[in-house]
Amino acid sequence: MDIKSIKIRKAEAKDLGTILGFVHQLALYEKEPESVTTNLNEYEKCFQAGIFEAIIAEIDSKAVGMALFYDTFSTWKGKMIYLEDFIVLEAYRRMGIGEKLFDTFLEIALKKDAKLVKWQVLDWNTPAIDFYLKKKATIEKNWWNGKIIFNSK
């Protein structure tokens, strides 16, 4: 496959069902399919409010990957873009799609005048870790994540 046949475009509201599908596939890969408890309505509401953005990778008009991100702030560095989810469908991995998608994400961050980008990667996901290290990323091992999940009923 020619890398030029990969199209990266900004996600639109009509893509939100596809994006949620990617998130479910990512959760399955990360061995936590039951952890996705949000729904399309929440995606639509938050997308319309500008809470997050996404870019889609396509081959022949078929969505094969996506990156979902949002603006945030680092008190140490300034404006930051957080990469919440980044996935390429398994059948399309190792074709340069992830690299093109990630590079486009970085270009967007630079255009937005971000001082840094940040994301998480599971310690057992060595293909992803290797990918990020090739991009000259720093993989922090001394910071632990904290979270509180509010149960909405």
Strand 116-118 versus strand 78-88 pairing type: parallel
pLDDT band at 152 (very low <50, low <70, confident <90, very high): low
**3-class state of residue 10 by DSSP:** strand
Give the model's pLDDT for residue 148.
85
**Cβ-contact 24, 34 below 8 angstroms:** no
Q: Which amino acid is at 106?
A: L
CB 77 within 8 Å of CB 25: no
| Separation between Cα atoms, residue 89 and residue 100, nearest integer Å | 14
Q: Is the pLDDT of residue 57 over 70?
A: yes
Residues recognised as catalytic? 132
Distance CA 63, CA 37 (A): 23
Q: What pairs with residue 56 in β-bridges?
A: 9, 66
- Report residue 50 as tokens: 């500008």
**pLDDT score of 3:** 63
C-alpha span between 58 and 107 (Å, rounded): 18
Burial track 88-120 (b if 16+ CB lie within 10 A, e otherwise): bbeebeebebbbbbbebbbebbeeeebeebbbe
Annotated domain spans of the chain:
3-134
1 pLDDT tier (thresholds 50, 70, 90)? low
Q: pLDDT tens across 16-47, in order?
A: 999 999 999 999 999 999 999 999 999 999 99
For 84-132, the pLDDT digits (tens) are 999 999 999 999 999 999 999 999 999 999 999 999 999 999 999 999 9
Is pLDDT of 82 > 70? yes
The domain made up of 3-134 has a fold known as Aminopeptidase (3.40.630)
